């Protein structure tokens, strides 16, 4: 089932459920998430990890995924 999403952006600043990341992976949607929360354990090497307070870091990760795949 196509989602129409280019990227799943989930830069959480607190602990949270990894379900959105798993759902994105199920549909083959690349993920950008925080490196400062427990989500790194869920994402592993399957996501780009960013500082959730650094807008430039988030923007660069999204740009990379859209332009470079």
Domain boundaries, the chain: 8-68
Mean residue pLDDT across the chain: 87
Mean pLDDT of 21-33: 90
DSSP tag of 56: H
> Does residue 36 contact residue 51 with C-beta atoms inside 8 Å?
yes
- Mean pLDDT throughout 31-51? 87
pTM for the whole structure = 0.85
Rounded Cα–Cα distance for residues 6 and 28 (Å):
10
What confidence score (pLDDT) does residue 36 get?
84
Q: What is the pLDDT of residue 1?
A: 45
């Amino acid at each position: 089932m196509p989602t129409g999403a280019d990227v799943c952006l989930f830069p959480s600043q607190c602990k949270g459920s990894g379900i959105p990341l798993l759902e994105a992976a199920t549909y083959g949607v690349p993920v950008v998430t925080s490196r400062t929360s427990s989500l790194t354990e869920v994402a592993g090497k399957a996501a780009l990890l960013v500082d959730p307070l650094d807008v430039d870091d988030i923007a660069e990760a999204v740009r990379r995924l859209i332009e470079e795949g």
